Amino acid sequence: MDHIIIVAGGKGTRMGGDLPKQFLPIGGRPVLMHTIKKFHDYNPKLHIIVVLPHDQQAFWRQLCNEQGFTIEHDIADGGASRFESSRNGLALVPDDEEGVVGFHDGVRPFVSAETIDRCFEAAREDYAALPVMPVTDTLRFTGGSSAGRNVPRSDYRIVQTPQVFDIALAKQAFRQPYRDAFTDDASVVESLGCQVRMVEGNRENIKLTTPFDLQLADFIIKQR
Ligand SMILES: Nc1ccn([C@@H]2O[C@H](COP(=O)(O)OP(=O)(O)OP(=O)(O)O)[C@@H](O)[C@H]2O)c(=O)n1
Ligand SMILES: C[C@](O)(CO)[C@H](O)COP(=O)(O)O
C-alpha cells in the first residue's frame, strides 16, 4: 500500500494572523482541503495521513463537518519540528509494509497530478525521489559579506514536495535523532548515505509561507 503524509503541524509565524495558515480559505475552502483532495484525486486508494497540532484537531473535524468534506484520512499529532511532525505521521504506517510513502507540505495546495505521479513512480524505481524547479533569477552567495558574488544558478534547484521514499528506507531514516540540517524529509534520508532522485516539479506548487503567497493562491484559484 502507498501512503501520503501531509504535514500541517507548524506555527505559520511568517504568515501571521490568528487562523493557522492551513485553515485559511482559498476559493471558499481551507487550504488543507485543497491539498488533501489533490492526492485523493491522484489515487483514491492512497492512505492519507494528516499531521496537525493536537489542539487544532477538534477544530479541523468541525471544519470538515461544516464543509461536508468526506475524504477519509487519519490524523497524527504535530511535533516541535517538521522532522518530528513527519516522524509522528510515519508512525501510522505499518513497519512491515511494502510500498512507498510520500511527505507533503499541507500548505502546498497546487501540486499537480503529474508532479505527484513523477515522484511516486521515481521512488518506486529508485527508492527516493523529490520534485525540483530550476532557479529563474540570478543567484548571489553572500556568506555574511555585504558584497557577495554571483554563483552559477544552473548548479542549484528549488526543492518542493511531495518527497517520496521506500517505506523501509523512510522508517530507518526517521529512527535517527533530530539534526538542524534536516530541513526536509530528503535530507533525513540522505544522511543515511542514500541518493534521492530529482524529478520535475510544477511552478504553481508554491509553499504558502507569507501573506503575499496567499494573494498568489487566490489568483491561481481564480484562473481555474
Ligand atoms: N513543527 C512543524 C513545522 C512545520 N510543519 C509543516 O511543514 C510545512 C512547511 O513548513 P512552513 O511552511 O515553514 O510552516 P511553518 O513552520 O508553520 O511556518 P513558519 O516557519 O513561518 O512558522 C507546513 O505545512 C507546516 O505545517 C509541521 O508539520 N510541523
Ligand atoms: C520541505 C520544504 O518545503 C522543501 O522546500 C521546505 O524545506 C520547508 O522549509 P520551512 O523552512 O519549514 O518552510
Q: What percent of the chain has pLDDT over 70?
A: 100
Q: Cα–Cα distance between 76 and 6 in angstroms, integer? A: 10
The three cell numbers locating residue 47: 492512505
- Mean pLDDT of the region 118-128: 98
- Mean pLDDT of the region 43-58: 98
The three cell numbers locating residue 15: 504568515
pLDDT of residue 145: 84
pLDDT of residue 191: 97
pLDDT of residue 214: 96
Residue nearest to atom 13 of ligand 2 (CA): 209
Q: What is the pLDDT of residues 126-184, one digit of tens each?
A: 999 999 999 999 999 998 888 899 999 999 999 999 999 999 999 999 999 999 999 99
Whether the per-residue pLDDT at 24 is higher than 90: the answer is: yes
Q: What ligand has the least distance to the C-alpha of 186?
A: 2
Q: Cα–Cα distance between 14 and 20 in angstroms, integer? A: 11
Q: What is the mean pLDDT of the chain?
A: 97
pLDDT of residue 146: 86
Ligand 2 touching residue 158 (CB < 6 A): no
Whether the per-residue pLDDT at 224 is higher than 90: the answer is: no
pLDDT of residue 108: 98
Residue nearest to atom 5 of ligand 1 (CA): 10
Pocket residues for ligand 1 (CB within 6 Å)? Answer: 7-14, 51, 78-82, 85, 105-107, 207, 209
Strand bridging mode 157-159 / 128-134:
antiparallel
Q: What percent of the chain has pLDDT over 90?
A: 95
- Domain boundaries along the sequence of the chain: 3-222
pLDDT of residue 155: 97
- Mean pLDDT of the region 9-27: 94
What does DSSP assign to residue 189? Answer: H
No. of helices (H) and no. of strands (E), the chain:
7, 12
Ligand 2 touching residue 205 (CB < 6 A): no
Region label for 77, one of left (φ > 0), alpha (ψ between -120 and 50) or beta (otherwise)? beta
Cα of 8 vs centre of ligand 1, distance in Å, is 6
Whether the per-residue pLDDT at 208 is higher than 90: the answer is: yes
Q: What ligand has the least distance to the C-alpha of 12?
A: 1
Number of the ligand 2 atom closest to the C-alpha atom of 163: 1
Ligand 2 touching residue 108 (CB < 6 A): no
CATH code matching the domain that covers 3-222, chosen among 3.40.50.2300, 3.40.50.720, 3.90.550.10, 3.40.50.620: 3.90.550.10
Mutation choice for ligand 2 from 81, 105, 111, CB with most ligand atoms inside 8 A: 105
pLDDT of residue 144: 85
Give the bridge partners for 199, in sequence order: 131
Instruction: Kindly indicate the confidence band of residue 71, based on its pLDDT and cuts at 50, 70 and 90.
Output: very high
- Mean pLDDT of the region 111-130: 98
Mutation choice for ligand 2 from 7, 182, 190, 207, CB with most ligand atoms inside 8 A: 207
pLDDT of residue 126: 98
